[in-house]
């Protein structure tokens, strides 16, 4: 290929690449516009709701990964007992008593990890270290920004919110024939898909439920209507109908999680052997998945003193040294 042909070929390839990039950018911009339109619709729904009063009822905390069990809620801690430095999430009341979350919420640990990584990156750039201070109560308030906004801008003191989002509707936990499910409809299109999947498209013809503003004005009616529809189906049936249609996730018990192939495939129930106990036993796995440096549970933690001799040998201690220290009671070793 001579220089002229080579240049002509190169020009054609550049043109093709430019056209392909233009095509991809057009698709990306279209996707962004759809997201913007959906966000505008969500904000209009929020405005129509006019800060609906919080409901009552016991909350079931739900979390899941996108694609299989889509997370349907972002319920977070809403009250902090600063005197005791103990976090209490006021999800609901039971006989006048505020209820805490059903699981440990290690919000401060996440904040601390983020701070450590940030400090390390800063030290690499500047050569300077710094003291890192992360208070548990501060970390919880940091993720409870919505109640701060409600108080600051709306002069409200949010109370128990029950199973449902205080603004978006429907957005919460609903009964199933064999338990509960969480679902969310952050836009009108999701709501239409929801009622159609549940076999009740005529709901859209009712003036009370026709628009987000109408549904916000009839909040209790929407919740009651959907509860009646979901309660007639099992979690599996609801998953089959709603999965991929709306943000959705079944509320699983630990017994169900133990038998769920998803968690097995993700390595989230790791088997370990413990001396003296029938096994294998299972513990929670590592949720952070690295492509290059896989993390996971490789076994139980060592018994107290189990690796004493090995560590001392790594640091130059001889067999006689270890024997002498052992005889003097200076070192502790695990014994069968």
Q: Which of 256, 271, 298 is the last residue of a domain?
A: 256
Last residue of a domain, one of 123, 154, 185: 154
Judge if 186 and 116 occupy the same domain: no
Torsion angle of alpha carbons 150, 152, 155, 156, nearest 10°?
Answer: 30
Residue 6 lies in a domain: no
By percentage, how much of the chain surpasses pLDDT 90? 36
The pLDDT assigned to 42 comes to 56
- Helices (H), ranges, 208-330: 212-217, 219-231, 235-242, 254-259, 261-265, 308-314, 319-327
Q: Angle at CA 192, nearest 5°, toward 191 and 198?
A: 90
Structural domain for 220, as ranges:
171-256
Is 244 part of any domain? yes
Instruction: List the single range of 23-27, 88-92, 276-280, 310-314 with lowest mean pLDDT.
Output: 88-92
In this structure, are 188 and 250 located in the same domain?
yes
Residues 146 and 175 both lie in one domain: no
CB contact set of 230 (below 8 Å; sequence gap of 6+): 174, 175, 176, 181, 183, 198, 238
Residue 91: inside a domain, yes or no? yes
- Determine, yes or no, domain membership for 215: yes
| Token duo for residue 80 | 């902090």
Residues 197 and 233 in one domain: yes
The 3-state DSSP class for residue 320 equals helix
Q: Is residue 236 part of a domain?
A: yes
The pair of structure tokens assigned to 217 is: 């004005």
Across the chain, mean pLDDT equals: 77
What pLDDT does 86 receive? 29
pTM above threshold 0.85: no
Say if 73 falls within a structural domain: no
51 located within any domain: no
233: CATH:
3.30.1540.10
Q: What is the pLDDT of residues 233-286, one digit of tens each?
A: 999 999 999 999 999 999 999 999 999 999 999 999 999 988 888 878 999 999
pLDDT at 162: 76
Report yes or no: 156 and 150 within 8 Å, Cβ to Cβ. yes
Which pLDDT value is given to residue 24? Answer: 74
Q: State the total domains in the chain.
A: 2
4 against 266, higher pLDDT:
266
For residue 201, tell me if it sits in a domain.
yes
The pLDDT-based confidence of 71 (bands split at 50, 70, 90) is very low
Residue 93: pLDDT over 60: no
Query: Shortest CA distance to 73 belongs to which of 250, 243, 268?
Result: 250
Looking up tokens 């233009």 gives 22
Rounded Cα gap, residues 89 and 86, in angstroms: 10
Residues 191 and 249 in one domain: yes
Pairing label, strands 171-176, 97-98:
unpaired
- Considering only residues 99 and 145, tell me which one the structure prediction assigns the higher pLDDT: 145
Last residue of a domain, one of 224, 256, 288: 256
Shared domain check, 250 and 210 = yes
């Amino acid at each position: 290929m001579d220089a002229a042909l080579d240049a002509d070929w190169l020009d054609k390839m550049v043109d093709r690449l430019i056209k392909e990039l233009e095509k991809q950018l057009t698709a990306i911009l279209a996707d962004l516009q759809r997201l913007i339109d959906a966000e505008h619709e969500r904000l209009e729904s929020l405005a129509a709701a006019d800060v609906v009063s919080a409901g009552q009822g016991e909350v079931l905390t739900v979390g899941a990964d996108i694609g299989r069990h889509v997370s349907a809620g972002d319920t977070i801690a809403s009250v902090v007992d600063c005197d005791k430095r103990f976090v209490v999430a006021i999800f609901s009341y039971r006989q006048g008593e505020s209820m805490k979350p059903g699981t440990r919420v290690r919000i401060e640990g996440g904040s601390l990890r983020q701070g450590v990584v940030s400090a390390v990156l800063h030290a690499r750039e500047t050569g300077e270290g710094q003291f890192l201070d992360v208070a548990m109560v501060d970390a919880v308030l940091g993720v409870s920004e919505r109640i701060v906004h409600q108080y600051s801008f709306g002069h409200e003191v949010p109370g128990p919110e029950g199973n449902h989002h205080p603004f978006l509707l429907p957005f919460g936990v609903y009964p199933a024939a064999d338990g509960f499910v969480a679902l969310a409809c952050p836009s009108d299109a999701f709501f239409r898909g929801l009622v159609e999947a549940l076999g009740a498209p005529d709901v859209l013809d009712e003036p009370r439920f026709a628009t987000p503003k109408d549904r916000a004005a009839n909040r209790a009616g929407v919740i009651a209507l959907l509860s009646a529809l979901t309660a007639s189906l099992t979690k599996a049936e609801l998953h089959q109908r709603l999965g991929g249609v709306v943000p959705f996730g079944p509320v699983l018990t630990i017994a169900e999680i133990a038998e769920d192939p998803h968690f097995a495939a993700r390595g989230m129930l790791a088997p370990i052997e413990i001396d003296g106990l029938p096994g294998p036993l299972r513990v929670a796995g590592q949720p952070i998945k690295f492509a290059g440096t896989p993390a996971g549970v490789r076994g139980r933690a060592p018994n107290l003193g189990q690796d004493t001799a090995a560590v001392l040998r790594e640091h130059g201690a001889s067999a006689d040294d270890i024997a002498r220290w052992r005889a003097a009671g200076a070192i502790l070793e695990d014994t069968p």
